[in-house]
Structure 1
Amino acid sequence: MSFLIFSISAIIVVLAAIQLNRFGDVISHKSSLSGAVVGTFLIAGATSLPELTTSLTAVYIDNPDIAVGNMLGSNVFNILILAVVDMIYRKNKMFHGINPKQHLPSAIAGIIFTTVVGLSLIINSSFSIFNIGWEMFILVGLYIGTVKLFETEEDAEMNEAAATGKDYSLKTSSIGFAISAIIVFIAGSALSISGDQLAQQTGMSSSFVGSFLIAASTSLPELVTVLVAVKLANYDMAVGSILGSNLFNLQLLAITDMFYQKGPILNAASSSHLLLAVLFIGMTALTIFMIIRKQSSNTMRYVLPSAIIVLTYFASSYFIF
């Protein structure tokens, strides 16, 4: 029964998050929000909402491993999405069609943010402010700095991001966005609770359920966003939405820590999450290489880094869990 509820909840989360993405994109085009903020922050925030609702519910049922694993696992899965889509559409050479200056800051920031999380897992310090871990304040500060950087380096080309449903009015889109957010909240809560029950019934660890099963489910909206952007040849939106979502997820980890009343949430999480953080850093480093490398006409040579990311993901998943 838990597996059925888990599956149904995952489907509802995906469908509702797709609507979040659609309405969020319309809002971005019909409001005064800047183009660079669209892919990296607004759309990324919309598609990251399932991770927030799922992790907050995990905190409510006192399962910090699902809460932390969901965030870190989603980030790893997001990079996997980019690599898989890049392999499928390898002839398009997606990374050759982007502006590196737009994406390097968010990619590098993702590594820095995750390094902070990794160091916190290693140090395992009990120091906190209002029961919130010290590392969360650093993450928020770094995120604010990244936002400022994007505002100063905005590229007007991002305003050309394709939207689905542009015929909606700003008011209709705002209402639709709010309704979709509520549905995501309810379905995300059910996803977390059923995932916790699934772990207990099957004997799987909560860290595995959170880092892979739930993380994959809540990352499916990002997959839809990337596929739509790639089909429309809007590669900047495809890459920006993933890298931005990763940054946003780590900020949601800080919000999750605020609601965890037993001290810093990373102190209560499994040490296996450190390996997940290292995996993300390695995969993102390869992504940075794909962003800055020279263009190549050889398709096999071009797609090699993405293939390495995919193989690394599955090999690491096997050894970690």
Structure 2
Amino acid sequence: MVYVIFIAAVIVTVITAHKLSTYADAISRLSGMGALLIGTFLLAGATALPEITTSLTAVYLDNPDLAVGNILGSNHFNILILAVFDLVFRKRKMLSHLHKQQRYTALFGVFMTLIVTVALFTTIEIPFLNMGIDSLMIIALYLLSLWIIQRTPVSKEEKENSETPNEEEYTLKHAVIGFIITAIIIFIAGTALTLTGDEIAVITGLGSSFVGSFLIATSTSLPEAITVLTALRLNNENLAAASIFGSNLFNMIILCLCDLFYAGSILQSASMSHTMTAIFLVINSSLVCYAVFVNGKRRFYTLPSSFMLLFYLATMTWLYYF
């Protein structure tokens, strides 16, 4: 029965995520806010809802490995999503058509992951806040990224699209209401994924680190995968990439929330097997930065995405055997 519920939750997540990204694309045009802001914060926050329920439920179950593994695994899988679609749609050179401000969000992802990697070895706890200094640094970087994105002007192309509302399938009100409803459904599905995933870890004996970093992380990242695919079909590369970069930043904030509600440092309580996951994640995040910064000028365009795929496979192999 637990497997049936898990699969049902996955199916609901996939179907709902498609509608979520469609509503987000409509909101970005109808509101005039732009794909960068909508994708990095609104859409990224909504698609990260399963990670919120998953990680906080894992904290409630006193399972730090499941919580930490879910966040690191989700960020790994998000980068894999970007790499796979970049390889599949290589002729479009997706990563070479991004707004220059996305370089900063990609770079912030590297810095946040570096902080987490160091905190897995050692951190300074702040007793009255029940948080480590690493969590405060991550929150500060997230707020800085928010400030930078807010100062980014809407592109000329997006302004032109926002001036043609008669061609839209939805009104702004319809899109906002639909977005909220689908986000709530994803939130509920995420809770089901966590509870069943914890039981699967016990039944299979695979361990919380592997189940959290692979099975649950992959399942809770399905909204991001469907979001990217839908955005690319709508010829909105900026929305696709922004949802991935934004989700990875938002996931780090979720890790800070887990640290707040967990008794002690959640990173210090997690298994040391996560250190290799974090190190590989730093490498993959750096490869994404490289791909975005150099745009399409590199000779072998698909090389960074190919390496991202290889490092993801190496990470999952490490977790399975160690």
TM-score for both structures, normalised by structure 1: 0.89
Partner residue of 2:205?
203
Aligned to 1:89: 89
Query: Shift of residue 85 of structure 1?
Result: 0.9
> 1:47-68 CA deviation, whole Å, 9 max, x = no partner?
1111112112222222221111
Cα deviation 1:73-98 (Å, max 9, x = unaligned): 11111111111111111222222323
Q: Is the 8 A contact 2:72 2:277 kept in 1?
A: yes
Alpha-carbon distance in 2 for matches of 1:176, 1:252: 24
TM-aligned CA deviation for residue 129 of structure 1: 3.6
Alignment deviations for residues 197-239 of structure 1 (CA, whole Å, 9 cap, x no partner): 1010110110111111111111111111212222333222222
Q: Name the CA distance, whole Å, in 2 between partners of 1:34 and 1:89.
A: 23
**280-289 or 182-191, which moves further after superposition?**
182-191
Aligned partner of 2:36 in structure 1 is: 36
Change (3 A) 1:233 1:266: same
| Aligned match of 1:49 | 49
Q: Is the CA contact 1:36–1:158 (under 8 Å) kept in the aligned structure 2?
A: no
1:284 aligns with 2:308: no
Amino acid at match of 1:174: V
Counterpart-to-counterpart distance in 2, 1:258 and 1:188 = 20
Give secondary structure in 2 for the equivalent of 1:302: coil
For residues 13-47 of structure 1, the C-alpha deviation after alignment (integer angstroms, 9 at most, x for no partner) is 22233333333443444446454311211111111
Following superposition, the deviation at residue 156 of structure 1 comes to 1.9
Match of 1:259 among 229, 254, 261: 261
Distance 2:113 2:38 in 1: 23
Deviation, 1:124, is: 4.7
Query: In structure 2, do the counterparts of structure 1 residues 129 and 159 end up closer, same or farther at CA, with 3 Å as the change threshold?
Result: farther
Contact 1:226 1:238 in 2 (8 A): yes
1:178 is aligned to: 180
Residue 20 of structure 1 aligns to a residue whose secondary structure is helix
> What's the counterpart of residue 231 of structure 1?
233
Q: Which residue of 1 aligns with 2:137?
A: 138
For residues 89 and 294 of structure 1, what CA distance do their matches in structure 2 show? Answer: 15
Name the counterpart of 1:217.
219
Contact 2:48/2:251 (CA < 8 Å) preserved in 1? yes
- In structure 1, what residue type is equivalent to 2:68? V
| C-alpha contact 1:14 1:218 (8 A) present in aligned 2 | no
Residue type at the aligned position of 1:61: L
Q: State the aligned residue count.
A: 316
Deviation of the 1:127 alpha carbon: 4.2
Q: Does the CA-based 8 Å contact 2:36-2:239 persist in structure 1?
A: no
Query: 2:251 — aligned with what?
Result: 249
Alpha carbons 2:35, 2:238 under 8 Å: kept: no
Gaps of 5+ in 2: none
Q: Distance in 2 between matches of 1:71 and 1:257?
A: 12
